[in-house]
Amino acid sequence: MEITYNYYVLSLAMLLGFFGYGQNVHKGYGPPIPPMGKRWVMNPDFSDEFNGTALDTTKWLDHHPTWIGRKPGLFMASQVTVADGYLQLKGAHMGKDTLVNAYGKVDTFNIKGAAVVSKKKIQFGYYETRVKAAATTMSTTFWFSTVGNFKGPKDCDSYGLEWDIHESIGRKGDFDGQFFASGMHANAHFWYNDCEGKRHDFRAPQVRFEDERLTSEDFNVYGGWWKNESEASLYYNHRPPKHQRFYDKIKQQPFDQPMYMRLVSETYPYPWIALPNKEELADSTKNVVYYDWVRAYQLVPVNQYYANADLERELKLYQEGIYFNAANITLTYSPQLKIPMNYKANEKRLLVVELWNAQDKKLMESSMEVLPGFGHFQFDLYPKMNLKREENYRISVKLKSLTSNDPKVLDYNTIILNLE
């Protein structure tokens, strides 16, 4: 009866999306407001909903190409599956010790881990994943790193990069790193090889978000905005961001190389974190990491056509709308009024802007098409009539579909305009 009950609980949780009541329901997630004049668009090479029956081998490797795992956990392709709408990384005990000859030495492994690595590398952008950790001491991770070494500023030195958006385990225990079982933990490593051949792990200050819940209790969304060579911002369940400055004592702009995305379940060394026991590794309700999706976004000019713009429409990614950052705006009187606004659109839409006076009379109307994505721009309004200084006007904006002769209004917003 116990086995039947656990299977029923797991199946019901799968059906309901592990308390999320279905896939892709969290419309509130996604990238932060883009810089002025820019638009977030999805990058399909690093985005996957995992709704198929097998790993998409055009995007992903089912192993780590340059690392076999931290002993005694060995990365094995057999532990990577895609089913029920999730990428699943399953931990297991091998049953006996296995000798592996790698890196010029023989090591002993007895735990099966898993790794999925992007085939392409990327630099800058916003990345996020929705994931539920395994309820074991094996890791649940979402990170990026380079391969090989790059020439340092002294020519005789070299460096590599690693950016960990999130690392965690799924349960607590009698070990030093039990805090890793809850919240979010982000690190940035500048791996430096000095001219004497010594290797250094220079790190940015760790970014942490605290949470009372274990990471294995429910799905969480972990996000990171790699802004430039010097800094990033981190996001946990869409809380306000925390910011990270990369270590820059060796190079002023250290994170200057593209990196590969990595989704990994590995073992950690004791006494920092205890190894998983055989019982939890044999429990199918505990030993699997579930990645619901991983999504990547890149910045493009707000009015630039982007060839891979179908993802937003296919996923119905955004709750489409038009947004202002305040209830009113004060501008200096000019024949050209620049009205800042944001929009979210899953496909090409029509933006209609109306200018009304204090007597509720519409003075003018102007429109433009906007492209799929999350855009931030200034709408240029050219009133043909004389507007009065120190008088209030109303800007009304409608986001409309581009279908039929009577396009549907998808969203509506207003802002008060003060002229000086």
Do strands 80-83 and 86-90 pair parallel, antiparallel, or not at all (unpaired)?
Answer: antiparallel
CA–CA gap between residue 298 and residue 240 (Å, rounded): 20
CB neighbour class for 416 (10 Å; exposed up to 12, middle 13-18, buried from 19) = middle
Beta bridge partners of 338: 380
Give the Cα-Cα-Cα angle 133, 137, 140 (nearest 5 degrees). Answer: 35
CA dihedral over 269, 273, 279, 280, signed as positive or negative: negative
Please name the residue ranges forming H helices in 55-179.
Answer: none
Active-site residue numbers?
Answer: 162, 167
203: CB partners within 8 A, 6+ apart: 187, 188, 189, 190, 247
Give the Cα-Cα-Cα angle 368, 335, 384 (nearest 5 degrees). Answer: 70
Outline where DSSP puts E strands in 158-265.
158-168, 182-193, 199-203, 207-214, 220-226, 231-236, 242-245, 259-265
Question: Which helix H or strand E contains 99, and what residues bound it?
Answer: strand 92-102
CA–CA gap between residue 4 and residue 284 (Å, rounded): 12
* Alpha carbon distances (Å) from 91 to 54, 75, 85, 100, 137: 18, 10, 19, 18, 10
* N- to C-terminal Cα separation, the chain: 76
298: CB partners within 8 A, 6+ apart: 40, 41, 43, 124, 125, 126
Do strands 220-226 and 125-132 pair parallel, antiparallel, or not at all (unpaired)?
Answer: antiparallel
283: CB partners within 8 A, 6+ apart: none
Quote the longest CA-to-CA distance of the chain.
85
| Cis peptide preceding 32, ω within 30 of 0 | no
Which residue, 156, 230, 146, is CA-closest to 193?
156
358: CB partners within 8 A, 6+ apart: 391, 392, 393, 394
